[in-house]
Amino acid sequence: MEFDDIRAFVAIIDTGSVSGAGRQLFLTQPAVTRRLQRLEHTLGTALVDRERRPLVATPAGHDILEKCRRILRSARDIKTAVNGNGSPAGELRIGVAHALTEIALTKPLDRLRKRFPRVDVLLTTGWSRALLEQVRLGSLDAAVILLPEDETLPGGVLGTELGKEQLVVVAPKGTGRPKRTLADLKRVNWILNPEGCGARASLRRALQRANVELRVVLETYNYPLQLNLVARKRGWSLVPARILHRSPLRRRLRTLPVEGLRFPLNVWTVTTDDQSSLSSVIEELSRQLKDRLASRRPL
């Protein structure tokens, strides 16, 4: 069994395609295919369901996948153990929730790379629950995510709570009376994150309970753009309070408390429950993020 064949199989499942695995491993598609076929021949079973798109593991492949991930993690740990000066080295795969990119991808990451120059940090962004599942399955080493205040972490992962986040309803300044009920939102046009956003799903459920339709007129991941459009009276939005507080447009905007509509969230760093040679790097990132969250003034 070849180590490179194992890497190819894991990369195919992580990216969902042979071409994606090729880009990740800097190989041609035929080379990736040959490595997968060689591993399947060695194990005597099909590992990838070639009829599905994106590509997924077969039942047998799913059972083998986690073992392959452990082999890759063990190889990384061995590399670190013989590093000589004892400093962490290797590849660290971190996911960051869309709403937290402004916090995580600036000073904390710069400081992390300066302190651990032998660690290659590979970043991906996504929705919190999707990133959490990738950590649980082992395709990410860690993720920085948002979860509702009353939600606990699933089994198979470890978590460090970093701080609090609060989403607020934002409207143009001068918008009617200061307090609303869900029924008052019948004619509101919304500017929100695309489908997949947990806060958007919570907003929809709350409105449905009041028999109110969620009318989305624009979807974008970009919070500054959302606030710009709200200031121009194109609709209302739902954004983190810290981002509104820092916006140069905040004087043209206002928050609107809505009875029955609250979005308290906790910020977590989550990792697998396997001990990693890069645990110290993840711990340092968590500390940096926790300090950065604590330094934010409330709205």
**25, 7 contact by CB (below 8 A):** yes
Domain boundary at 82, 117, 133, which? 82
Domain boundary at 28, 48, 82, which? 82
Q: Read off the tokens for 53.
A: 């798109």
User: Do 104 and 165 belong to one domain?
Assistant: yes
| Residue 39: CATH number of its domain | 1.10.10.10
User: Do 128 and 255 belong to one domain?
Assistant: yes
Q: Are strands 263-272 and 142-148 parallel, antiparallel or unpaired?
A: antiparallel
CA distance 252 to 158: 42
User: Do 131 and 249 belong to one domain?
Assistant: yes
End-to-end CA distance of the chain: 57
Q: Read off the tokens for 118.
A: 């032998």
Say how many domains are in the chain: 2
Burial of 54 (0-12, 13-18, 19+ CB in 10 A): exposed
Other C-beta atoms within 10 Å of 191: how many? 22
User: Do 139 and 202 belong to one domain?
Assistant: yes
User: Do 69 and 103 belong to one domain?
Assistant: no
User: Do 130 and 20 belong to one domain?
Assistant: no
Give the SS3 label for residue 26.
coil
Residue 291: predicted pLDDT = 87
Q: How confident is the model at residue 9 (pLDDT cuts 50, 70, 90)?
A: very high
Burial of 33 (0-12, 13-18, 19+ CB in 10 A): middle
Residue 29: predicted pLDDT = 92
User: Do 39 and 173 belong to one domain?
Assistant: no
**177, 276 contact by CB (below 8 A):** no
Phi, psi (rounded to 5 degrees) for 254: -150, 150
User: Do 61 and 187 belong to one domain?
Assistant: no
pLDDT tens-digit map of 243-269: 898 899 999 999 988 888 888 889 999
User: Do 78 and 94 belong to one domain?
Assistant: no
Say what angle helices 128-137 and 59-81 make with each other, to 10 degrees. Answer: 80
Residue 113 has pLDDT above 80, yes or no: yes
Nearest to residue 289, comparing CAs of 270, 262, 274, 272? 270
Strand partners, 255: 170
User: Do 94 and 206 belong to one domain?
Assistant: yes
**120, 72 contact by CB (below 8 A):** no
Q: Which residues, other chains included, contact 72 with Cβ-Cβ below 8 Å and sequence gap of 6+?
A: 6, 7, 10
pLDDT tens-digit map of 74-92: 776 666 655 555 677 777 8
C-beta pairs of 195-199 under 8 Å, 24+ apart in sequence: 195/219, 196/127, 196/130, 197/98, 197/127, 198/127, 198/128, 198/129, 198/146, 198/148, 199/167, 199/238, 199/263
**130, 98 contact by CB (below 8 A):** no
Residue 196 DSSP code: T
Highest mean pLDDT among 1-5, 76-80, 104-108: 1-5
User: Do 151 and 25 belong to one domain?
Assistant: no
- Integer angstrom CA distances of residue 199 from 36, 58, 149, 206, 254: 39, 33, 12, 11, 19
pLDDT tens-digit map of 41-69: 999 999 999 998 889 999 999 889 888 88
Q: Domain of 77?
A: 1-82
| Mean pLDDT of the chain, nearest integer | 86
Q: How confident is the model at residue 232 (pLDDT cuts 50, 70, 90)?
A: very high
CA distance 132 to 127: 9
User: Do 127 and 255 belong to one domain?
Assistant: yes
